Amino acid sequence: MAVLGVALAYLGFIGTARSVPSLSSIGSDLTLLYNNDLDRPNAPQHKSAIMLTSRNVLAAEEACTTLGETLLPINTTFFATDLPSTLEYQVFQGVVPSTQEFWVASKGLECQVVNTQGHVSTSSCLRELPALCSQNAGFMAGPETATSLTVHAQNLEITGFRDQLSFKFIGIPYADQPARWTYSTPYTGPTTINATSFGPSCVQTGTTGTSEECLFLNIWTPFIPENVATTPKPKLKAVIFWIHGGAFTGGSGADPTFDGGNFASRGDVVLVTINYRLSTLGFLALNDGVTNGNFGFADQIQALEWVQQYISAFGGDPERITIYGQSAGAASVRALMASPKAIGKFAAAIPSSNLGGDNYAMTYSLYYTIPQEVSVAVDPILQETGCNNATDTLACLKAIDGNTLVNLPDVARYLVVDGTFLTSTGLPLNGSGPIANVHTLMGFMRDDGAAFIGYPTNDNVTDGLLGAFIPLSVEDNPLFPLPTGSNATLDIFNLTSRANTDIEFRCVDQATAISAVKHNLLKSVWFYEFNRSYQTSPGFDPNFPVCDAPVDAEHPFGDPTKEYFKCHSGDLFYTFGNLPTQTLPYRDADDLPFMQVTLDSWASFARTFNPNPDPAFLKARGFSGTAALIAKQSPWEPVTHANVNDKPLRVLQVPSFMDVFSEAEQCEFMGLPLESLFG
């Protein structure tokens, strides 16, 4: 105890000026412990802590002080509720034994420890034990000197910060700034990087503060190793590499919908989001043999390579990267699965709401040749810019402001067969070309196509079909019966939405799973259909209010148990765990548990390549809500040869269940047969 007194006296002399600590100055791995139930309104009531590797109590005090914290003060409530599950999870992972004790704040000159059940006792001060530091950064807190941290990632020194949920490193440049319409190359800029604020989004329409210097990525992580070289492989976390959607013309890795704190904290994964060049600045292709397009797609691969090289310094396992994207992000995932430049650089894929088939959706899964893009998009761009008569077309376009280019009536937004990044016109699901043999989780919203057509302007069925670009043969067709409700325009919208979801999502995505299993192309395939949704309003709520749960006296924000359209992007709040927002509260008692089980399923897939959370994992984490919900429903089964014609599809709702691939006859009628579309 006298030794502790000397240590405390020494620590009292540490100056008030504080430099940003690094893992080497702390001398420890850092694990952020937080019992995350995803209930954001109550998040400030919970506390978190930082776990350090074994050391004596003097070194523990010093390391906590270096972090701007103290040894964890005794808090009876916290030690009885939140702390035990976070420590039990360390036991579950094999990081510590069940009998482990941890240094916490001393009582006078008496050293104190806490065990994995949260019980506090006094102990000899001469032992070496893992330590628990306080963690005073608040929920969704911004960067402060007191909560900053520098990570040494090979030649880079990257300073980020922490909040209540995770360590955050945002606005990291992953490539040198490329000249317009050249491919990005690895980052070689200053090696000291301030990663405490998002970099600008790529130039796009309808958004201010954008830039052509926009190739940044963002990292959320629950764990940072002191020394990657000596860190056991099992301690590294699975990585989710998120690619935003937005029609290849908009979007950003900084969108708060995709904030990775909850994914990292509750899912125990490292979450990465990226920017990539968009619109004509990212996808222009010319018939000049040099400007071959896919610049934004190549940016995604460049970011993926950065993650492969550096993510272990942030606690991520480069051999367990899951690429995940929605809408145009899903199209990107699908293209990465076909790209010779990307195959082998990820272990799993989640293409959510991938477009394909016909109409607007066709080019997301069936790629133009360069001459086709020139005809469809570039020739009109040249007309609109006056560059059609220029002796040097490329030089003429380079002289035009980027914001002008992305706001033209026509833009280049297409993936193309360039011969390098994409060598086939689509994902070769008949085994005729390269394809990433990875674990795959895929699916769509029940009414994904409702977002891509307009609402009928009158009660004429023919007009409704023409306005939605649906074949007139759908009218009076027993495969597509017209509902007979009290609202004629809503009846027509039900018809056109169903048909368009088949044409642009359901048929192609189900056929993809069937063909992949038929030809044994993927390590596993898991398929879903969301039958519960919450639109990202006001960001994206098409044909308002049909995509929103109907309001009644008992449900002023909507009743999700009643019928409404489950529309495009309505899954994102659930998978990222980011409800409620300031304007979007919980609508009923199931929004929170459904969000919990959805995030837990997605994170389970990233960690284990199986979306069924391990009951032992749930018990160790204290995730009783998810455990109770999955106990009421059958397991999620993968798509296999044995069940592909039975019930291979998971309907995600409360409770979830297995069902058949739907609309087979309708897909056949539309020329998109499930069994033979891809051979």
651: domain CATH number? 3.40.50.1820
pLDDT at 538: 72
Name the residue among 583, 593, 603, 661 with its Cα closest to residue 632. 593
Cα-to-chain-centroid distance, residue 674: 28
Name the residue among 678, 649, 639, 662 with its Cα closest to residue 356. 678
Would the pLDDT of 633 be above 70?
Answer: yes
Together in a domain, 458 and 342:
no
Residue position matching structure tokens 């009951």: 615
From CA 328, how far away is CA 296, in angstroms rounded?
Answer: 12
Together in a domain, 505 and 566:
yes
Together in a domain, 495 and 573:
yes
Name the residue among 541, 549, 539, 643 with its Cα closest to residue 594. 549
- Does residue 423 form part of some domain? no
Cα-to-chain-centroid distance, residue 467: 34
Cβ pair 304, 421 in contact under 8 A: no
Would the pLDDT of 659 be above 50?
Answer: yes
- Identify the weakest region by mean pLDDT among 252-256, 527-531, 536-540: 536-540
The residues, any chain, with a CB within 8 Å of residue 16's CB and separated by 6 or more, are none
Together in a domain, 109 and 221:
no
pLDDT at 5: 34
- Does residue 152 form part of some domain? no
pLDDT at 541: 92
Would the pLDDT of 607 be above 90?
Answer: yes
Together in a domain, 184 and 224:
yes
Q: The tokens of 126 are what?
A: 């001469």
pLDDT at 12: 35
Together in a domain, 477 and 623:
yes
Strand 416-417 to 368-369 pairing: parallel
* pLDDT band at residue 537 using 50, 70 and 90 as cut-offs: confident
Name the residue among 453, 451, 449, 503 with its Cα closest to residue 474. 503
Counting DSSP H helices and E strands in the chain, the numbers are: 22, 22
pLDDT, tens digit, for every residue of 149-200?
999 999 999 999 999 999 999 999 999 999 999 999 999 999 999 999 999 9
Phi/psi of residue 500, nearest 5 degrees: -70, -35
Q: How far is CA 119 from CA 36, 54, 193, in A?
A: 21, 19, 42
> Residue 223's domain spans which residues?
161-252+269-355+363-413
From CA 376, how far away is CA 343, in angstroms rounded?
Answer: 29
pLDDT at 4: 35
Would the pLDDT of 16 be above 80?
Answer: no
Per the DSSP assignment, residues forming a β-bridge with 156 are 153
Cα-to-chain-centroid distance, residue 606: 11
- Does residue 299 form part of some domain? yes
What is the mean predicted confidence (pLDDT) over 122-139?
A: 96
Would the pLDDT of 113 be above 90?
Answer: yes
The domain spanning residue 80 has which CATH number?
3.10.100
Together in a domain, 460 and 409:
no
- Does residue 418 form part of some domain? no
Cβ pair 116, 98 in contact under 8 A: yes
From CA 571, how far away is CA 596, in angstroms rounded?
Answer: 13
Together in a domain, 456 and 315:
no
- Does residue 676 form part of some domain? no
pLDDT at 18: 60
Continuous H helices in 448-487 = 461-467
* pLDDT band at residue 13 using 50, 70 and 90 as cut-offs: very low
Cβ pair 673, 665 in contact under 8 A: no
- The domain boundary, picked from 91, 119, 135, lies at 135
Mean pLDDT of the chain: 95
Domain count of the fold of the chain: 3
HEC readout, 4-62: HHHHHHHHCCCCCCCCCCEHHHHCCCEEEEECCCCCHHHHHHCCEEEEEEEECHHHHHH
Would the pLDDT of 530 be above 80?
Answer: yes
Together in a domain, 116 and 245:
no
What is the mean predicted confidence (pLDDT) over 622-647?
A: 96
Strand 30-34 to 48-55 pairing: antiparallel
Continuous H helices in 388-487 = 393-398, 402-406, 461-467
Q: The tokens of 159 are what?
A: 């300073």
- Does residue 34 form part of some domain? yes
pLDDT, tens digit, for every residue of 29-85?
999 999 999 999 999 889 999 999 999 999 999 999 999 999 999 999 999 999 999
Would the pLDDT of 14 be above 70?
Answer: no
Residue position matching structure tokens 């919990």: 596
Name the residue among 591, 493, 638, 573 with its Cα closest to residue 259. 573
pLDDT, tens digit, for every residue of 206-235?
888 999 999 999 999 999 999 999 999 999
What is the mean predicted confidence (pLDDT) over 249-254?
A: 97
> What letters, b where the CB count within 10 A reaches 16 and e where it falls short, cover 168-185?
bbbbbbbbeebebbebbe
Together in a domain, 467 and 599:
yes
Element (H, E) at 105: strand 101-107
From CA 172, how far away is CA 629, in angstroms rounded?
Answer: 39
Cα-to-chain-centroid distance, residue 615: 24
Together in a domain, 317 and 351:
yes
